[in-house]
Amino acid sequence: MTTQPLLDASGVAKNYGAVAALRDASLRVRPGEVHALMGANGAGKSTLVKILTGAIRPSAGRILIRGEARPLGSPAAARRAGLVPVYQEPSLIPDLDIADNLRLTGTPVAPFRDWVRALGVPDLDLRDLARDLPLAVLRVLDLARALSLEPDVMLLDEMTAALPANLAERVIEVVRGEVKTGRSVIFISHRFVEIAALCDRATVLRDGETVGVVDIVPGIEERIVEMMLGARVEKTRVAAAARDAQASSGPPRLSVRGLAAGSKLEDVSFELANGEVAGVVALEGQGQDELFAALAGSIRPSRGTIAVDGEPVVFGHPADAIAQGIAYVPGDRTEALLMQRSVRENIALPFSARLRSWGPLAVGRERGLVSAAIERLQIDTRAQREVQRLSGGNQQKVTIARWIAADARTILCFDPTRGIDVRTKREIYRLLRELAAQGKSVLYYTSELEEVQRVCDRAIVVFGGRVVDVLPVEIADEAALTRAAYGLPREAASLPASPSGATP
């Protein structure tokens, strides 16, 4: 290829202290192409994007635009160099109206209006405050703003994730038309379908390095998956589906009928038996957050019923759910822990009230229970005086340990292994299986699909706020789960597997 690349980044590295977020990334984008940037979670995609858009500075590397080194010290500098991003989250100032937002970034108004119309939003009032507009419209406005700056290279980060299907199609159409004029687009998405429809080439990152550049041709998906996962492709051990007669005795531990909550959870029904670990699988924003929040008592469902041990219940407060032995372990540990307090206090927190009523025994008893939980989870207590000084994995263990100490009968785990090292992950899997073997039940949402076969007995797949499939663990491999998570029927086996399909 003799044409000079529009954007040529090579040897880009970024260190945060001793941690290397990016080791040796390169990215070459030709004029007139849509270039996909791909990689599993933690591969360094977002770091590279931040560097290219001037949000952070690289520790090393060379970035040329049209063959020239341009300073990318700030978002404004990157914009002047011709690199305009559309971020994953809306970037308009919420308290300014649209017209002021355009003035702030020096965006010409007339082309902006044209683009907004072309993108399928005909009736925009520029005097509306950004905070009053729905998310999908804001995403479209972000894109229109970027387009009207006539950038050389546009960076679209998960642009279509928050869009309804018709707007997403318009976006793809517009982007296709745009590159015909010689501009380029860097497209970041987890949806293979879109990448196949839109992109010409893809750069794949793994562990902070560029591991390959491929042309997008039919069937390339498997190759990309291989590159993203590297040597890690191994057959996962199917969790012993050791559910025996125990499950069928008595009413189910948790029974959900026609549950709806918020704007995303439409109609979900399932049962969770004693001694079962049930996986919940869904793409981002399919209602899983609302489902777990409703079961944990932090929001009220708008429709439907929840029954515990066969008795219908109404949770008005998380304390009601806890009283029924239902504990919630959020993926974001800062939601659950008192970061400045000690490990022991954190574990004792949810049940200290209950223990107090046992009178003078409380302190000794509490200490015993806490110690037993720490022992059981092998929490590293060297830094126990402040939870915030523990590693992420150990923090997550503390959030689980408190419910073991509190003897919760049902644990709702929402992506509990997010950002945790492999060893701790394994320990958490083992622990959850042990709990199940003791007759406790676990509802386990995960964005890492391979976890389903490691811990769960079956997988409940949610799409568009409804349960679309329930897969027994034997067939719930990543490919099958991905298909189901996109709302495709089980038979349609022709679609490519995407292991990161549901990861954010």
Partner 1 sequence: MSRFLRRQGWVAGLFVLFLALLVVTRLIQPGYGAADFGSLARAVLPYAFAVAAQTVVVLAGGIDLSVAAMMALTSVTAAALMAGASEEFALAVVPFVLALGFALGAMNGALIVVSRVPDIVVTLATLFMLQGAALLVLDAPGGGAAEWLKALIVGTVPIPGLPGAVTDWIPKALVVLVICLAVVWIPLRRSRLGLSLYAIGSSDLAAFRSGVPVARTKILAYALGGLFAAMGGLTLTMSTGIGAPIPGPYLLASVAAVVLGGVALGGGRGGLLGPIIAVFVLRLVRTDLTLLAVDPNVTTIIEGVIMVVVVMLGALVAMRGRTP
Binding residues among 39-68 for partner 1 as defined by CB under 8 A: 53, 55
| Token couple for 500 | 């990161």
Q: Which is nearer to partner 1, 127 or 237 (CB)?
A: 127
Please name every residue paired with 204 in a beta bridge, in sequence order, or none if there are none: 38, 212
Q: What span, in angstroms and rounded, lies between the C-alpha atoms of 464 and 92?
A: 27
Residue 237 backbone phi and psi in degrees, to 5: -75, 130
Strands 34-39, 60-65: parallel, antiparallel or unpaired by DSSP? unpaired
Find out whether 439 and 354 touch, Cβ atoms under 8 Å.
Answer: no
Number of residues that bind partner 1 (CB under 8 A): 21
C-alpha closest to that of 134 among 176, 111, 166, 162? 162
Q: Which is nearer to partner 1, 56 or 383 (CB)?
A: 56
At closest approach, how far in Å is the CB of 399 from partner 1? 27
Kindly write out the interface string for residues 179-208 of this chain, putting x where it contacts partner 1 by CB under 8 A and - elsewhere: ------------------------------
Q: Which residues contact 153 (CB under 8 A, 6 or more apart)?
A: 6, 7, 29, 65, 82, 83, 84, 183, 184, 185, 186
Kindly write out the interface string for residues 69-108 of this chain, putting x where it contacts partner 1 by CB under 8 A and - elsewhere: -----xxx--x-----x-x--xxxxxxx---xx-xxx---
Q: Which is nearer to partner 1, 145 or 253 (CB)?
A: 145
| Start-end of H helices in 378-446 | 392-405, 422-437
At closest approach, how far in Å is the CB of 92 from partner 1? 7
At closest approach, how far in Å is the CB of 91 from partner 1? 5
Binding residues among 329-358 for partner 1 as defined by CB under 8 A: none
Q: Which is nearer to partner 1, 79 or 425 (CB)?
A: 79
How many angstroms from the chain centroid is the CA of residue 474? 25
Q: What span, in angstroms and rounded, lies between the C-alpha atoms of 265 and 22?
A: 37
Binding residues among 101-140 for partner 1 as defined by CB under 8 A: 101, 103-105, 127
As a whole number of Å, the CA-based R_g of the chain is 25
Q: Which is nearer to partner 1, 56 or 475 (CB)?
A: 56
Q: Which is nearer to partner 1, 76 or 338 (CB)?
A: 76
Q: Which is nearer to partner 1, 95 or 335 (CB)?
A: 95
Q: Which is nearer to partner 1, 23 or 79 (CB)?
A: 79
* CA distance between the termini of the chain: 34
Binding residues among 293-322 for partner 1 as defined by CB under 8 A: none
At closest approach, how far in Å is the CB of 163 from partner 1? 19
At closest approach, how far in Å is the CB of 93 from partner 1? 4
Residue 322: CB atoms within 10 A of its CB come to 21
Q: What span, in angstroms and rounded, lies between the C-alpha atoms of 190 and 98?
A: 30
Binding residues among 361-400 for partner 1 as defined by CB under 8 A: none
DSSP track, 200-264:
SEEEEEETTEEEEEEE--TTHHHHHHHHHHGGG--PPPPP-----HHHHSSS-SEEEEEEEETTT
At closest approach, how far in Å is the CB of 78 from partner 1? 9
Kindly write out the interface string for residues 405-444 of this chain, putting x where it contacts partner 1 by CB under 8 A and - elsewhere: ----------------------------------------
Find out whether 364 and 371 touch, Cβ atoms under 8 Å.
Answer: no
Find out whether 261 and 311 touch, Cβ atoms under 8 Å.
Answer: no
Tell me the helices (H) and strands (E) count for the chain, helix number first. Answer: 17, 20
Q: Which is nearer to partner 1, 53 or 384 (CB)?
A: 53
Amino acid at 298: S
Q: Which residues contact 208 (CB under 8 A, 6 or more apart)?
A: 13, 20, 21, 22, 23, 24, 25, 43, 44, 47
At closest approach, how far in Å is the CB of 53 from partner 1? 8
Q: What span, in angstroms and rounded, lies between the C-alpha atoms of 367 and 405?
A: 10
At closest approach, how far in Å is the CB of 121 from partner 1? 19
Q: Which is nearer to partner 1, 159 or 449 (CB)?
A: 159
Q: Which is nearer to partner 1, 107 or 298 (CB)?
A: 107
At closest approach, how far in Å is the CB of 97 from partner 1? 9
At closest approach, how far in Å is the CB of 89 from partner 1? 8
At closest approach, how far in Å is the CB of 235 from partner 1? 42
Q: Which is nearer to partner 1, 73 or 182 (CB)?
A: 73
At closest approach, how far in Å is the CB of 504 from partner 1? 18
Site residues (vs partner 1, CB under 8 A): 53, 55, 74-76, 79, 85, 87, 90-96, 100-101, 103-105, 127
